[in-house]
A and B are shown apart, each in its own frame.
Chain A
């Protein structure tokens, strides 16, 4: 997967000196990059103590905890951007999560594996088994994912949650996908904000 390209896209969406909260920040490598190159004020939330220690080593401010309790630590509007890169599909209360993230931040950056990809459909239809692909590499009994959804599903969800797509980018093994993303993209990346009330 072209993860470097995906991260480049996220970095391109985030203006310099923004305040960024990275949910599920891992060892902090990407957040450190944002801090250094985009000069953002960055903080992270991470569950794993070993990863948190790596973040500390990088000089990042990070909160050890799950995403919901992490968000709860912050006041309203504490951040400009909330990052949910690869974590959204692993988290249970999607609606509460989005509401809480938009309380703390102005915009969300979400990435997820597209369950509508042609290979996924093919494996399920012809093979009759839960698909295993580059973007969904683990078998059903080992995957951290609890939600399996397509790009179209996510659009419906955003409409229901009154989220506006500010920008989107889709990727497969070869890089950007422009046409028929729900069939051809392995990974979707969306920049979202609360839709203005009418």
Chain B
């Protein structure tokens, strides 16, 4: 079996069964901080918010080496290194670390759990200070822009005025785009991966299946469930549907084929228990242990609501953008297909942004950015390296040699 296939079979780091996994970063810690509140796009005012975040590497004296990594739907602040309690690696340990694509020996990596999440940041499972009870469904609708506004609060708190790069895949890519568009003076480079300009009906549709699975679970109880009676079944089904959309036909064929997981047991409904069924059930069960059902509702809705331009003409919305972009898509990603990335690239370019676009042949589907992927790693690493060198040139020389931006 080739190395490429072995990598493919390994999958991502979030829920796979890991044998002995060592991280170059060792054990890393996640902190939480209470920050001044924000007013959401929907008009709700938080008096204060809590964000979980992780920092890796050292902030340079000039503060010019900050890389903000934004997580996708099921991620959290723990981006790399081993969790001190569970021993599990962060979701992007393959790509973040010393000497890796996002090199922690050069860059100061910052990662937060999103607003609305369940990894330590304020979300539906947090206690509403006004009522003393969990928000549940009284939590205000959140958007990708709200998530970014919360991150801005954290950067202000850390007194970081500018980020060298903001990087993220899928929902993380949406956050990266919002950063570049809404805070043009604070972002030098932007790497949106496997993402889009706005969610399409197909993407919304898959999320709606997941949400329905949760809210029709009797234990959901209008969002007021307890730790012992959670809508676990609904959330597991939601994750199973989601997971199918993150893979590709090729990945599934290679990974499972039509193999049966085990011999039939008398209690089985049907004699065949396929390996792919077993895998999805495992993914569902594993996810339920680490994710809050209400958060899943709120975050998927934030994704569905996402529209970078929000109805304004591209030139008006993107005219102030200063960042240089590396947009990456994957040929096998049918959830966020390359055509959507090209639409994003075209819109950015026609608004005069400087954009590099790379479409990789990785065959793992949407999850291609979460697995071991040397081509992906190289591209991100080289881009950050070249841009970091460009940034460090004296200003006069920069405009002379590179002619500034077009």
- A-side interface residues toward B, CB under 8 Å? 17, 19, 35-36, 39-41, 43, 49, 52-53, 55-65, 69, 72-75, 78
Contact = CB atoms under 8 A, between A and B. Distances in A.
A61 B403 contact: no
Nearest to B349: A73
A158 B349 CA distance: 29
Contacts of A78: 352, 406
Nearest to A45: B357
B402 interface: yes
Residues of B in contact with A, size category:
20 to 34
Contacts of B229: none
The residue in B345, B349, B352 that gathers the most chain A C-beta atoms within 10 A of its C-beta is B349
B375 A59 contact: no
Given A35-B402, A53-B378, A64 B357 contact: yes
A73 B379 contact: no
Given A49-B375, A53-B382, A63-B357, A74 B349 contact: yes
Contacts of A17: 403
B186 to A, nearest CB: 21
Given A39-B403, A53-B379, A69 B342 contact: yes
A63 B403 contact: no
Nearest to A36: B401
Interface of B: 324, 326, 342, 345-346, 349-350, 352, 354-361, 375, 378-379, 382-383, 385-387, 389-390, 400-406
17 contacts: A19-B406, A35-B401, A35-B402, A35-B403, A39-B400, A40-B403, A53-B375, A56-B358, A56-B386, A57-B382, A57-B385, A63-B345, A63-B356, A63-B357, A72-B346, A73-B349, A73-B350
Given A19-B403, A36-B401, 7 more contacts: A19-B406, A39-B401, A39-B403, A49-B361, A61-B354, A64-B357, A65-B357
A61 B405 CA distance: 11
A56 B376 CA distance: 12
Contacts of A74: 349-350
Contact of A41 (B356, B375, B378, B402): B402
The dominant DSSP class at the B interface is: helix
Nearest to A57: B382
B356 A61 contact: yes
B404 A56 contact: no
B339 to A, nearest CB: 10
A73 B406 CA distance: 14
Contacts of B345: 63, 73
Contacts of A19: 403, 406
Given A19-B406, A35-B401, A75 B326 contact: no
A69 B383 CA distance: 23
Nearest to A72: B346
A61 B348 CA distance: 13
A41 B406 contact: yes
Contacts of A35: 401-403
B358 A49 contact: yes
Nearest to A63: B357
Contacts of A39: 400-401, 403
Enumerate the 4 nearest inter-chain pairs by beta-carbon distance, A residue then B residue, closest first: A59-B386, A41-B403, A57-B382, A73-B349
A53 B326 CA distance: 11
Nearest to A53: B379
Contacts of B359: 49, 64-65
Contacts of B349: 63, 73-75
Nearest to A47: B359
B356 A62 contact: yes
Contact of B354 (A40, A43, A69, A75): A43
